[in-house]
Structure 1
């Protein structure tokens, strides 16, 4: 049906209303297509990672197309971690703020639905007036004072030729979707941050334990060196060098101690507690289990799973609807109104047979000349849509990079741990052998100090490599969206409440696809 009404032609309101029924201007939004690719990385990933007979050295297998559980952190099999995350989900002010923002968007949508519906108002009024007959050309008649009572019902409705209001509702529904995905993003970020902080705490504790063992070993070496110095078998500089080595280890421990305390404070705040009041479990690498089955979503599914991509899509939808709103502002609007009531000089006569009043009216508003304002605003809306399109594409590109980086990191992490395990074993054997040779006088003190430094570096690097496999595993679950679409809908959801989650990553959108 042709919706174009040439400006300047006056058509009866009833005929225009019939001509524009069911017509909407502007683009009809459709979901952007997923990138046409079958892989995240330019070269094929191995089906499984390398293995190492050490802590965190298990084989991890990439399960292409596997389903990610909503509570993905439970795959680390840490009951304290699961308990802490549940507490955080209940008490986090960040989530509470995101939930309130979503409720605000939902209520604004409901309010806008009321605005575009026909309005019905009841009016009751009482006035006391003094009337001068001079106003009607009879100044000789004395003025009179009287009461005036009014009771009426008024109905008004505006027909929007271009369905601009419906596009406005579509834009507001898109904002509801945006806030729902912002909430999912906050949920994912919170759980991922807690898991990462717990892994960091476990790494710091393991590094501190390793340094404490090295400190005890070097304290023992210092005792041997001091004994040899007293017996003339070592020089004073050897004793000083060993003490300096011991002090360096203690100096390294202090920053780790500070970082551990700050990580604990961070965990408390993430859980919605004050650092001084939180009762947190202690996390070690031994209390975490490395997930061995890693579900990897198909590339075509990633755009429906990542909350940041879905949020960018919702903004794109909003921008599309705003183009329709700006276009609809170029077309006429027809307002029909009517009222019926009673007007009397006393309340006793207010509903009498002779006091009835009514009115019926209609108006047509057709923009003719606004100095180019309306067309400029439409061009601005189109530019905003182009911007949203580019931002959506940028979000998708970075999301795919995020997954590719994490997959490669997991592969390299496993091989790095394998190399670090071998390096640690070699450094330990070298230190034991050098220590024996030094005790027998077959090695100088410089060789012993060098062996100690290599062993210290190897131990710390080994612990860091172990923790990195845990951290990058958590990063993979986060990069793939965290499985929020597999979370069951709450039992107390209202039928008319915009959903914040759905199966297969597709929350329902009541206005999506409308406008034809």
Structure 2
């Protein structure tokens, strides 16, 4: 077989050099995120340096501090730490996200290998053929065998960076998945902490409400007896019944919320609902007194949702470059060598050597406007991704502002509820003492205890809100600014470097 050279190798070398220079030029946006405003403080009002003291704890906002990775340990509860560790270890949702990320990384390795390195395939063929007779030669047909074994190689030069940019786009999308996995892991930890605190608070509310129901029923029975004796009016007797019934009606709803929360917590831990963990002791949870507040410029690097939006922006920018590069020429080389013949001895001898080598150069000329439309579509997608990035940053700022304000207001409400509960407890204790001395009726004692238990309910709610809002603020701060996609980037860089060195060697041999 003869190879007819339509393009000389020196010309191919010059074309490759020129193409490399052109590929260095940017065919699209650089993928850098847009500049975002850096507010002096997150909320509409300047954040305080600390909250008011509540239950003896003042929370200090440490501006400029880094986010805390395992922030749930600041609650100083071994039981809570064990729940979070179990959930991170056993959650099927998190495991599925992890495996999806691993699959995406392998797909990236596959694409880099197939796009940046030459392909080499081995093939063999053995056939027996029957040819029709040729009248001029004779009526008999011809029977013959063909034996062929070949190695085939193919390589496409990435003259204008289409393959390189496609690899960069896929690598950025793998980074998006890596940051999303980090966000899912942190969200799982926050959901476990919130569910555990909420379940403990609901349990405490149920206990207090059950005591209130008992007191209301006792009061209703006492009022019924007094009404039978003519000591109270019918309206007072009905009012006491109504109060007892209303309290009893609120109890099933609380129990339903409690069981629903326990079931959700069990599933978060990777358990079945019937294996829900025991409730924590709300009084043994310590609210963290030092809360980091990451400055806005660092928040862009610590929040995994913002980092994912940044990676998506880089992927969209690379897509614009790919759409542009597809409008330029493409150069491919192919070669094959092997042995062939009409019998095994001939196929294995020197006379059976076969080979071919070729080059192809193509330039898109007319595609019905498809290439230009694809480039415009990629540009519009990039513009949309820029807007999505801005919205993600603004939403992150709002998230931090809301949680900071919530913590301040939680402390104020909890402090007032704590004062009210202590005062009501004092009244109840004094009233009980006077009842034991015979100075007051039992109804006065019940009434004062009801006021105390209602104040206690408010204190439980605000304690739970302070604990869960603290968890929300830690979650809003993100992680310390590290490269969560380091493994993906390292894989991409090493594979691309290997591909580049092989491509350069192949180009040198072609020249």
Corresponding residue of 1:99:
98
User: How far apart are the structure 2 equivalents of 1:429 and 1:230?
Assistant: 34
Corresponding residue of 2:256:
258
**1:298 Cα offset (Å):** 1.6
1:62 to 2:64 alignment: no
Structure 2 matches for 1:150-165, cutoff 5 A? 150-165=148-163
Q: For 1:189, what is the secondary structure of its paired residue?
A: helix
Structure 2 matches for 1:418-437, cutoff 5 A? 418-426=415-423
Structure 2 matches for 1:380-419, cutoff 5 A? 380-419=377-416
User: How far apart are the structure 2 equivalents of 1:77 and 1:98?
Assistant: 29
Q: For 1:128, what is the secondary structure of its paired residue?
A: strand
**Mean alpha-carbon deviation: is it higher for 242-251 or for 465-474?**
242-251
**1:85 Cα offset (Å):** 1.4
Aligned residues: 482
Indicate which of 209, 232, 238 corresponds to 1:234: 232
State the superposition RMSD in angstroms. 3.4
Structure 2 matches for 1:103-118, cutoff 5 A? 103-116=102-115, 117-118=117-118
Corresponding residue of 2:466:
469
**1:428 Cα offset (Å):** 5.3
CA contact (8 A) 1:102 1:179 kept: yes
**1:511 Cα offset (Å):** 9.2
Q: For 2:273, what is the secondary structure of its paired residue?
A: coil
Summarize the Cα distance change of 1:463–1:513 in structure 2 as closer, same or farther, 3 Å threshold: farther
Corresponding residue of 1:28:
30
Corresponding residue of 1:318:
315
Indicate which of 50, 53, 56 corresponds to 1:51: 53
CA contact (8 A) 1:305 1:480 kept: yes
User: How far apart are the structure 2 equivalents of 1:234 and 1:432?
Assistant: 27
Corresponding residue of 2:121:
121
1:40 to 2:42 alignment: yes
Q: Structure 1: 5+ residue runs without aligned partners? A: 1-10, 490-495, 500-506
Q: For 2:172, what is the secondary structure of its paired residue?
A: helix
**1:268 Cα offset (Å):** 0.6
User: How far apart are the structure 2 equivalents of 1:509 and 1:174?
Assistant: 10
- The CA deviation string for residues 35-65 of structure 1, in whole angstroms up to 9 with x for no partner, is 433422243211111113x3xx511111112
Q: For 2:198, what is the secondary structure of its paired residue?
A: helix
**Mean alpha-carbon deviation: is it higher for 168-177 or for 19-28?**
19-28
User: How far apart are the structure 2 equivalents of 1:465 and 1:459?
Assistant: 10
**Mean alpha-carbon deviation: is it higher for 350-359 or for 397-406?**
350-359
Corresponding residue of 2:166:
168
User: How far apart are the structure 1 equivalents of 2:284 and 2:371?
Assistant: 64
**1:188 Cα offset (Å):** 1.1
**Mean alpha-carbon deviation: is it higher for 199-208 or for 210-219?**
210-219
User: How far apart are the structure 2 equivalents of 1:440 and 1:193?
Assistant: 52
Indicate which of 365, 369, 391 corresponds to 1:368: 365
**Mean alpha-carbon deviation: is it higher for 320-329 or for 241-250?**
241-250
CA contact (8 A) 1:153 1:341 kept: yes
Indicate which of 287, 290, 296 corresponds to 1:293: 290
- The CA deviation string for residues 58-113 of structure 1, in whole angstroms up to 9 with x for no partner, is 11111112233321111111111111111111111110111121012111111111
Indicate which of 174, 188, 198 corresponds to 2:186: 188
TM-score by length of 1: 0.84
**Mean alpha-carbon deviation: is it higher for 385-394 or for 312-321?**
312-321
**Mean alpha-carbon deviation: is it higher for 329-338 or for 227-236?**
227-236
User: How far apart are the structure 2 equivalents of 1:513 and 1:67?
Assistant: 34
CA contact (8 A) 1:48 1:59 kept: yes
Q: For 2:31, what is the secondary structure of its paired residue?
A: coil
User: How far apart are the structure 2 equivalents of 1:32 and 1:236?
Assistant: 73
User: How far apart are the structure 1 equivalents of 2:496 and 2:36?
Assistant: 18
Summarize the Cα distance change of 1:460–1:485 in structure 2 as closer, same or farther, 3 Å threshold: farther
Q: For 1:370, what is the secondary structure of its paired residue?
A: coil
**1:133 Cα offset (Å):** 7.1
CA contact (8 A) 2:215 2:450 kept: no
Q: Structure 2: 5+ residue runs without aligned partners? A: 1-9, 498-511
Structure 2 matches for 1:67-106, cutoff 5 A? 67-106=66-105
Name whichever structure is richer in helix by fraction.
2
